[in-house]
Amino acid sequence: MADPRGPTSKIELRVLRAHDTATVRETVAQDEIPAAIGRILQAVDHAVRRQGAARAGSPFARYHSFGDTVDLEAGLPVAAPIAPDGPVAPSELPGGPAAIAVHAGPYEGLSATYQAIEAWLTSTGRTPSGGPWEIYLTDPSEEPDPTRWLTEVIYPLQKP
């Protein structure tokens, strides 16, 4: 049975290094997020393969703003910047201090992990610096059981 507080690991502070990425950025309705991420990641994967670029990590989605619509950027970390390719563009995940938690379970439960990090930010006096992102550590095509999926949730932080 899932923990009623949410399937979240402890929140860690880490200093991340910046990562080159290949992404597509779109504004979508909240109920369109899962389909948009799937479509975007497929387009990015094709562009990365077409260019012979080396992947350097797991797929991710970054949220630049939330509201009735969501400013969403999704893609793949790459070993070196790619060339623009249709809607796919070079981008970067920022380096610096970050609050990180691992969500275990279906994506529908991610809000509990976000709430836990936001409560931690408030209780520790930390301030986010830019939009949070999710790194999909488990590939659903390889692990069909959503209870076994792991997603890292990352909030970049302002330097103290």
Whether pLDDT at 25 is above 90: yes
Confidence grade of residue 141 (pLDDT, cut at 50, 70, 90): confident
Check if CATH label 3.90.1150.10 holds for domain 12-156: no
**For residue 89, pLDDT beyond 90:** yes
pLDDT band at 145 (very low <50, low <70, confident <90, very high): very high
Position 15 pLDDT exceeds 80: yes
Q: In this structure, how many other beta carbons lie within 10 angstroms of the beta carbon of residue 95?
A: 12
What would the mean pLDDT of 135-142 be, rounded to a whole number?
Answer: 93
- Predicted local confidence at residue 6, as pLDDT: 47
Averaged confidence pLDDT in the chain: 93
Averaged pLDDT, 123-149: 94
> Would you kindly state where each structural domain of the chain is located, as residue ranges?
12-156
Question: How confident is the model at residue 2, as a pLDDT?
Answer: 39
pTM: 0.91
Query: In the prediction, which pLDDT does 7 show?
Result: 52
Tell me how far apart the alpha carbons of residues 34 and 11 are, in angstroms, rounded to a whole number.
25
